[in-house]
Each structure stands twice: as structure tokens, then as C-alpha cells.
Structure 1
Amino acid sequence: MTPFVLVHGAWGGGWYWRNVSRSLRQAGHTVFAPTLTGLGERSHLGHADIDLDTHVQDIVQLLHYEDLQDVVLVGHSYAGLVITGVADVAANRLARLVYLDADLPEHGESRFDLQPEARAWWEERAQEGDGWRVNLDLPEEVMIEIIPDPVVRRWYLERSQGQGQPIGTLRQPVQASNPMGQAIPRTFLGCAQDVLGMRAGLCGRMAQRAQAKPEVRYEELEANHFAPVSAPDVVASALLGQID
């Protein structure tokens, strides 16, 4: 029985792993899908001082208090930064890192270093969100192709719309200098289906970076960037394939 810890990306919550978690549990594994501070059901705890360290500590504390060992730690999108930071301080609890179409940073890089072309947009939107948070506002017509099932699409939008991603999480560089953390086996699961031009931007660049690293196992999924919601069976199958 392998413990999986699934970490959501920006504007998300543990909720969006619902169907992935169900499949992993049905296969006999322990699954935790925590929600990071200031998001999802913890959005009422949001404040201007939330940064990447806050989210790293969310996961480090979970590993400690649940006494988890040999964990497959999965990060989607922004959470690639989070799991990289967790590996730096809790390497002894981890068996593998899995980057699901995620940020794949080097030591000292922030999301803004990985995606400098988007920084001005984020900073401007943060000024509209109490000066520190960026709200998600994807119209349903944009999401029709991304999540074709209308019931699932509505479920996703009801929970993601209005979420405020603390901008401090994107400004702060990740710490990843611990040799033990760097030695943890890594997998990058790239989502091949292009939506919203993501393959030409950050997602495509991160996939290329992963493929250029011999120490990273690269696999491609027939899914789009929203795979935890739009293709949960594909994601669950790929995660089960990471058990060594």
C-alpha cells in the first residue's frame, strides 16, 4: 500500500482530486489531498502574508502529523514549486516526486522566473484583489472544450471561480539545495492536449525542461492541463504506474 499526497495548483483545492483519489483508494492505496492555505475550503484563512513557504509548510506538516513514509508526492501546475520545496526539507519521507504538467523549478526560481511574460498580468490583477490575491474568472464558454461534461464543468466552475491565489506564492523563490531532496526520483507527466495556448507557453517549456533532464522520467498523457478534473482516470492510471 503506497501513500499518495496530491497537491493542487493555483486556484484549486483538494476537492479537484476527488475522482483521482477515489480510483487510487479503490486500488488499495492511502490518499491525502490537502487544500493549501487560503484556497478552497480554507479560503477564509487567506491573508497578504501567504507565500510559497506557507504552502510548503502545509504539506510538511501533513507528512509529519500523519507520520507518512515512502510517499509519492504529486504536484499539479503551480504545485510543482510546492513539492520541490517540500523535498528540500522532508526528503526522508518521500519515495518519488511526480510533476503533473507542473512547474519544474531549479533552486532559487519562482513562478515569475519560470513565466516572466505573465508577471505584469498577475501583478495588475492582484491590485484588484485586495492588493495580494488574484481571482480566477474563466467564463464557462471557454471551459466547454476543456471539460466537455457539463455536470463536471459546472462542478469545477462553482468551486474555482472567485478563488484568490495569493500572489506571494508566485513571487517567492523555491529552496531546493538539499542533496537528499535532489536525489529523490522524479517523474514529469506532460499533458499533450493543448488548451488556451498552454503548450506554447509555460507548460510546453516545463515539458521540454523535463525531457532535457536525464534524471527525470518523462511520460506524456493524452489529456489537457486540467487533467485532474477533465481526465481523472488517465491521471490515476499514470500515478499507479509510478509505484516502484
Structure 2
Amino acid sequence: MTQYVLVAGAWLGAWAWRDVEPGLRAAGHGVHPLTLSGLAEKQGVAAGQRTHVQDVVDVVERLDLRDVVLVGHSYAGIPVGQAAERIGDRLARVVFVDSNVPADGESFVSGWPDGRAAVEAAVADHGGFWPPPAAADCADQGLDDEQIARMLAGATPHPGATLTEPAELKRPLNLLPATYVKCLLDWPEPSPAVAGLLTSDRWELVTFDTGHWPMFSRPRELARILLDVAEKDV
């Protein structure tokens, strides 16, 4: 039985996986959606990048999970990618869903040069937190009005320190068994950093005809992708 640990991106919590979970559970797998510190029901908990990495490691170790598929969406790819190397032989595969990927010594904002100034300014203007997007920011991502409203109703400000602290990797990321799910409506090609990782024979690319938040736009299809990923490692 595969154990899925699901980590959503900025502003979101475990609740974001609500419509993905049933497909995984129906197939007989363990499902562990995780809220990172400082978000959703964990608002008020101080958090930096290392806190979020430890959040992921802690749930794996506390529940004594084996055959783990770590799933990181968007921002969460950075802490999930670091946690993946720290859980050792508990890991079956890491899945990056339209996500950022960690690079040793680099942060979320340093990996996003075109948006760095805007993110840092927004964090400075909002008491150290990155404010959730507006509905207009979610346009053209395959979401209907109800899906956008639900996502934004649950979104909470994101702790700014997690965006600026650098990642720490002890070995090259391309040595991990990994799948990168590229959501085509967000951008049709992987970033240069991801493209470089995909040259590894341990990495594979899956394309998905939807937008950046597939757990809302196409949750059943996302569950099927995650099931297919696990079957490849059997």
C-alpha cells in the first residue's frame, strides 16, 4: 500500500486536497494531506523554510510511513524536495505538481527572478506575509467561478520567511526518483531548472491539460495521475 503525503502550495492547507483524496483511498492507499506551519488551521505558528521541511519529515516519521509518495504542489515543491532526501528508504517517489524545485542555497524568490521584487514588496507591505491572490489572478487556469471562490475562501496569508530562506540539499536532486507534472495552461514548458532535472533517467515528465491548481480544476484526473505514478514503482 502506497502512502501519499500531499502538500499544497502557497496560501493553501490540507483542505485543498479534499476532492483528490477519495480516488486515492478508493484504490486502497493511505492518504495524508498536510498543512504546513503558519497556514490554514496552523495560522499563528512561526515558520521559515526549514520549518516546512521539518513539517513533512515529521509526519512521515511520526506515522512511521513506508513506501511514501511525497507530493508537492507549487511552492511546496521546495520543502517537499528537501524532505524527500531526508526520509531515506521510506521514499518511493516524489511528485512535483506544477511546482518550484529546490536548489541548494537558493530560495523561492531567488528562483523566480521576474517576480522577486513584487513578492518581497507584497510581504513587506503585509506584515511579513504574502497575501493570497485575487480572483483575477486565477483566470485562464481551467477553474470555474465556484472553484475559484472555494479556493480563495480557504486561502490564508503565506509566511514570508519561507519564501526567502535558502534550501539545503545534501545531494543532487536528480538522483531522487521523481515525476514532474506540468500543467499546460499555466505555462506550456517546464522551467529551465526542471528541464535540466528531466535529463536524469530517474525523472519523468507528465503533462496535464489544466491550470496551476489541478486539485480544484481536475481533482479526479490528478488522483489518476498519482495512482499511475505509484504503479510504476511496484
TM over 0.5: yes
Structure 1 residues 118 and 220: alpha-carbon distance in aligned structure 2, compared to 1, 3 A threshold = same
Provide the C-alpha distance between the structure 2 equivalents of 1:37 and 1:142, rounded to a whole number of angstroms.
24
Deviations 1:95-144 (A, max 9, x none): 101111111233222112211221111111111211x11111313x5545
Confirm or deny that 1:37 pairs with 2:37.
yes
Residue aligning to 2:15: 15
Provide the C-alpha distance between the structure 2 equivalents of 1:19 and 1:136, rounded to a whole number of angstroms.
21
Q: How many residues align?
A: 231
Provide the C-alpha distance between the structure 2 equivalents of 1:72 and 1:126, rounded to a whole number of angstroms.
32
Residue aligning to 1:146: 141
Shift of 1:206: 4.9
Q: Let me know the Cα RMSD of the aligned residues.
A: 2.1
Residue aligning to 1:127: 124
User: For 1:75, what is the secondary structure of its paired residue?
Assistant: strand
Deviations 1:18-45 (A, max 9, x none): 1111111111111000100011111132
Greater Cα offset, 28-37 or 109-118: 109-118
Shift of 1:93: 1.6
1:65-80 superposed matches below 5 A: 65-80=62-77
Provide the C-alpha distance between the structure 2 equivalents of 1:228 and 1:31, rounded to a whole number of angstroms.
14
User: For 2:20, what is the secondary structure of its paired residue?
Assistant: helix
Give TM-score scaled by structure 1 length: 0.86
Q: In structure 1, what residue type is equivalent to 2:28?
A: G
Shift of 1:216: 1.1
Shift of 1:8: 0.9
User: For 2:44, what is the secondary structure of its paired residue?
Assistant: helix
Q: Report which of the two has the higher share of helix.
A: 1
User: For 1:72, what is the secondary structure of its paired residue?
Assistant: strand
Decide whether the 8 Å contact of 1:11 with 1:39 is kept in 2: yes
Residue aligning to 1:136: 132
Residue aligning to 2:154: 159
Residue aligning to 2:55: 58
Give TM-score scaled by structure 2 length: 0.90
Identity of aligned residues (%): 33
Provide the C-alpha distance between the structure 2 equivalents of 1:14 and 1:208, rounded to a whole number of angstroms.
29
Q: In structure 1, what residue type is equivalent to 2:158?
A: Q
User: For 1:112, what is the secondary structure of its paired residue?
Assistant: coil
Q: In structure 2, what residue type is equivalent to 1:65?
A: R
Decide whether the 8 Å contact of 1:88 with 1:175 is kept in 2: no
Shift of 1:233: 1.4
* Structure 2 unaligned spans of 5+: none
User: For 2:19, what is the secondary structure of its paired residue?
Assistant: helix
* Structure 1 unaligned spans of 5+: none
- Which of 195, 202, 206 is the equivalent residue of 1:208? 195
